[in-house]
Amino acid sequence: MDGFAKDFISVLQYLLPGFVSAWVFYGLTSYPKPSQFERVVQAMIFTLFTQATLSIVEFSLKTIGDHWSITKWTESSSLVGSILIALFFGFLFSYFANNDKLHKLFRVMKITHQGSFPSEWFKAFLNVTYVVLHLNDERRLYGWPIEWPSQPTEGHFLIAFPAWLLDNGEEKRIEGVRNILVNVRDVKWVEFLEKTWEHEDDEAI
């Protein structure tokens, strides 16, 4: 039993950098968290990247140390190095997942047709503009989205300066209300309006 516990702790310590990378990635992106089994698999993949990079760093530092020795490479050095590298990979993968630059390059190279974003919903809200929420009861709410759900099935819209759109096209400002919270389940679809205020500013200049 003691041997099993030691082996289990050793496995956890080995996978720790991978879990750190995954923790950073899912904390900074809108990707839904996978099942526990998939998390372990992803941790193993991140750990593979981390350990490979750590080996290169260790070899490079030891090579430099043959000429300019500062301190010895110890187990503590490996632990600290692996955590720092794991954080780096977590931030790196989050960066590319949130801007589509890497997938854009792959699309140009005909490697894939996919994007880096978790869903079309996430991509639609990249360029923030005024929106019209079409509610289930046929009402239409106009305003500026401050916050919005990362998934189309749960969460809330936080709309600033809300106004009801009437059938004749007029806006009826909700007096005394600065922000309003709307459950995404009460919304049938979302309209993203053109940035007409930018054209008005250009004309004013």
Q: Could you report the per-residue pLDDT of 129-168, keeping only the tens digit for each?
A: 899 999 999 999 999 999 999 888 889 999 999 999 998 8
CB 70 within 8 A of CB 191: no
Question: Does 68 share its domain with 146?
Answer: no
Residue 94 lies in a domain: yes
- The predicted pLDDT at position 202 comes to 42
Question: Does 97 share its domain with 127?
Answer: no
Compute the distance between CA of residue 19 and CA of residue 185 in angstroms, rounded to an integer.
33
Domain with 67, as residue range(s), is 2-108
Residue 114 lies in a domain: no
Query: What's the whole-model pTM score?
Result: 0.69
Short-list 119, 130, 73, CA closest to 97: 119
Residue 197 lies in a domain: yes
Residues paired with residue 173 on neighbouring β-strands, in sequence order = 163
Compute the distance between CA of residue 157 and CA of residue 179 in angstroms, rounded to an integer.
10
| Number of C-beta neighbours around residue 163 at 10 A | 19
Residue 89 lies in a domain: yes
Higher pLDDT, 122 or 48: 48
- The predicted pLDDT at position 76 comes to 78
- Comparing 14-28, 65-79, 120-134, the range with the smallest average pLDDT is 65-79
| Number of C-beta neighbours around residue 86 at 10 A | 27
Measured CA to CA in angstroms, residue 194 lies from 147, 171, 179, 180, 198 at distances of: 19, 17, 21, 22, 9
- The predicted pLDDT at position 73 comes to 74
| DSSP H helical ranges for the chain | 2-28, 36-65, 75-99, 101-108, 120-124, 196-204
Question: Does 127 share its domain with 102?
Answer: no
Give the count of domains, the chain: 2
Question: Does 103 share its domain with 198?
Answer: no
Q: Among 80, 108, 136, where does a domain finish?
A: 108
Question: Does 95 share its domain with 126?
Answer: no
pLDDT-based confidence at 199, cuts 50/70/90?
very low
Measured CA to CA in angstroms, residue 137 lies from 154, 180, 187, 192 at distances of: 18, 17, 9, 20
**Span 34-87, pLDDT tens digits:** 888 888 888 899 999 999 999 998 888 888 777 777 677 777 788 888 999 999
Residue 69 lies in a domain: yes
Short-list 99, 129, 104, CA closest to 117: 99
Higher pLDDT, 122 or 20: 20
